Amino acid sequence: MADYAEMKSRFDGLKAEGLKLNMMRGKPETKQVALSIPMLSLITQREDMVRNGVDAANYGELAGMPEARRFFADILGCREEQVFVGGNASLTLMYDTVAKAFTHGLLHSSSPWAKQEGLKFLCPVPGYDRHFRITESFGFELISVPMDEIGPDMDMVEELIKDPKVKGMWNVPKYSNPAGIIYSEETVRRIASMKPAAEDFLLMWDNAYCVHEFDGDYVEMPDILSLCEKYGNADMVFEFASTSKVTFPGAGISCFACSEANMAYMKKLLGVQMISADKMNQLRHVLFLKDKENTIAHMKKHAVIMKPKFDMVCDMLDREIAPEGIATWTRPKGGYFVCVRTKPGLAKRTVELCKEAGVAVTPAGATHPYGIDPDDSVIRIAPSFPPIDELEKAMEVFCVCLKLAAAEKNV
């Protein structure tokens, strides 16, 4: 165990430096943003904005530019007709899907969820705070399901979905936020073949990191739509993706994908809410990213910036924390996070100490429903935004704080 006095003195020294560093959110750094600047010059005249008779600048095409639908279908391995292209945020599309279930009901709902009481939603943990907050905001009871390195505990899920009040489940199947794991083929198959008691069970499949390898080759995932279809669950799943971490985080394009029956149903509802999302930005993206192959090539440029940061974070944890035996972590090959699991009771204090020393880390608990991690042990590290020298300093602070927290508690 690290010596308290030594750690306290190192901590005080770091604190005295008056740092202001941030490892809080999965935010691409400026160099990554710059990779997509050429995209901004692709539509500058009238000829550029009309494709196959569709005017990207004018009204129309509720489900988006046909080229953009094809693009996402290529990325996700589904059919063009199953894709609805949205605006700059898949988060908004996810929120809206839940909101539609609430206000109008889904395709197989007997009544809108607003008219039903005591609804529950499954939340694999550790997970994405913004997912959990959506369902919390709509008043669902959030049920934690533990995850391991191949995905959520499916025995538990299969048991929980026998309750008809359990209306859905969040998932980040590839490079999950924050654990960085990839659901195994067997996990995905078990999910696609679930038999939930709720006739309108909503499988939220946030494929946020579908092409986001930074270490090694692209990893193929099964197309969840056809897999669900195969098991008689075609209408159970809504899949989401975006280019937020491919092009511009605040100005990318997004999509949801679902069965044709769901698409027909959702288009009827969405046609009341919108005429179409910004098709000009959709077209700009397709002109730039072209197709899956070219997008994967583009992601290699992100990888060049991302990999050294993740290596540095994990190497420092290996060097500074592993010998202490006070935490474990994943070494992900894609996504945006390193997930540190401390011995119980250390996460909050570590984050607090980091803050005191001028390093912002995602609040402990954020990875769990209601922001409460019962073991107080999960810390999400987001290495992407700071330049690598700042990140190194931030990680130095983090390791000292974690060791100091352990020494304080004598663990």
Tell me which residues touch its own copies (CB under 8 A): 25, 27-28, 30, 33-34, 37, 40-41, 43-46, 55-60, 87-89, 91-92, 95-96, 99, 102-104, 112, 114-115, 130, 133-134, 137-138, 244, 248-251, 269, 272-281
* CB of residue 91 to its own copies, shortest distance in Å: 6
* CB of residue 308 to its own copies, shortest distance in Å: 20
CA-nearest of 29, 89, 66, 2 to 286 is 66
Choose between 107 and 114: whose C-beta lies nearer to its own copies: 114
Quick one: how far is CA 368 from the chain centroid?
Answer: 14
Choose between 167 and 279: whose C-beta lies nearer to its own copies: 279
- What are the percentages of helix, strand and coil residues in the chain, rounded to 5? 45, 15, 40
* CB of residue 186 to its own copies, shortest distance in Å: 33
- What is the distance in angstroms between the CA of the first residue and the CA of the last residue of the chain? 8
Choose between 233 and 243: whose C-beta lies nearer to its own copies: 243
Return the bridge partners of 380, or none: 339
Cβ-contact 379, 350 below 8 angstroms: yes
Choose between 213 and 278: whose C-beta lies nearer to its own copies: 278
* CB of residue 45 to its own copies, shortest distance in Å: 6
311 Cβ contact partners less than 8 Å away, ≥ 6 residues apart: none
CA separation for the pair 78, 155 (Å, rounded): 28
Q: Is the peptide bond between 126 and the residue preceding it cis, with omega within 30 degrees of 0?
A: yes
Choose between 234 and 241: whose C-beta lies nearer to its own copies: 241
* CB of residue 252 to its own copies, shortest distance in Å: 8
Return the bridge partners of 146, or none: 125
* CB of residue 346 to its own copies, shortest distance in Å: 29
* CB of residue 148 to its own copies, shortest distance in Å: 29
Phi and psi torsions of 29, nearest 5°: -85, 170
CB atoms within 10 A of CB 321: 21
Choose between 277 and 379: whose C-beta lies nearer to its own copies: 277
Return the bridge partners of 342, or none: 327
Helix (H) or strand (E) holding 117: none
* CB of residue 387 to its own copies, shortest distance in Å: 14
Choose between 91 and 379: whose C-beta lies nearer to its own copies: 91
Choose between 207 and 276: whose C-beta lies nearer to its own copies: 276
- The string of DSSP codes covering 288-314 is HH-SHHHHHHHHHHHHHHHHHHHHHHH
Choose between 9 and 137: whose C-beta lies nearer to its own copies: 137
Phi and psi torsions of 147, nearest 5°: -110, 145
CA separation for the pair 207, 370 (Å, rounded): 23
* CB of residue 88 to its own copies, shortest distance in Å: 4
CA separation for the pair 43, 41 (Å, rounded): 6
CB atoms within 10 A of CB 287: 14
Choose between 86 and 124: whose C-beta lies nearer to its own copies: 86
Angle at 147 between CA 144 and CA 150, to 5 degrees: 150
* CB of residue 238 to its own copies, shortest distance in Å: 16
